[in-house]
């Protein structure tokens, strides 16, 4: 974080990039998986649908 934070206008912007846009080697890197995508992948299918509805309401 200390190495990248200066590239962003705010901590919130950095966190969004880190969780939603930056692929992580420790996850499914072949699919360029982000922490958010890994979170959704690990949820049961019915929870993903409900979670998605909640996000867009």
Please tell me the predicted confidence (pLDDT) of residue 41. Answer: 82
- pLDDT, mean of residues 39-56: 67
Domain membership of residue 41 as a residue range: 5-56
Supply the DSSP symbol for 20: I
pLDDT band at 57 (very low <50, low <70, confident <90, very high): very low
Residue 38 in contact with residue 26, Cβ under 8 Å? no
Number of domains in the chain: 1
For 1-43, how does the pLDDT look when each residue is reduced to its tens digit (9 = 90+)?
Answer: 889 999 999 999 999 999 898 898 888 888 889 998 888 888 7
Length of the chain: 57
pTM, entire model: 0.64
């Amino acid at each position: 974080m200390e190495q990248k934070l200066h590239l962003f206008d705010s901590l919130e912007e950095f966190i969004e990039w880190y969780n939603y846009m930056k692929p992580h080697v420790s996850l499914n890197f072949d699919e360029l998986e982000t922490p958010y995508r890994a979170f959704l992948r690990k949820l049961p299918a019915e929870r993903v649908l409900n979670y998605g509805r909640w996000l867009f309401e």
